[in-house]
Amino acid sequence: MGQSVTVNSVRYIAMLKDFFYPQLQRFEAYNRATWFPQDGATCHTSNASLAAVNEMFAGKLISRRGDIAWPPRSPDLTPPDFFKWGYLESKVYSNNPATINQLKTNICEEMAAIPRTMCQQVFTNLRFRFEECLQRNGAHLDDVIFKK
């Protein structure tokens, strides 16, 4: 049975190198133009983590201390925050996984099942959010919802 652990920079780097990056390379839309956004969590922005991410995404890191500084506290502009986590949580936990391995299997299956059209809608919505953010001089978008 798996166990819960706190994500630190060593575990984050291992997850990126052993799981995320190999999976990403199999994704048909991945290419050298792909940017990698991450928030400012300490495990993401340690010197070791940033070195590992920069190795994988040279010149294409959106992060605190990255190639492009991602605005702090910007869930309005972060697809994982305004869409993916809530969507995935509702799918991944629908069968109440009892072990870490079951949870991992659910995550992999549900990520693979996200339709391309849904991803396109998310990025259409993201463009709308950027425009709204500019019109509001960077203020949060409390009343903006996912548009179909």
Angle at which helices 85-92 and 100-113 pack, to 10 degrees?
Answer: 120
pLDDT of 145 reads 53
What is the residue-averaged pLDDT of the chain? Answer: 83
Three-state secondary structure along 106-142? HHHHHHHHCCHHHHHHHHHHHHHHHHHHHHCCCCCCC
Could you tell me the pTM of the whole model? 0.55
Element at 62 (helix H, strand E): strand 61-62
Does residue 148 or residue 2 have the better pLDDT?
2
Does residue 147 or residue 140 have the better pLDDT?
140
123 token code pair:
């990025």
| Cβ 76 vs Cβ 144: under 8 Å | yes
Indicate the pLDDT class of residue 87, thresholds 50, 70 and 90.
confident
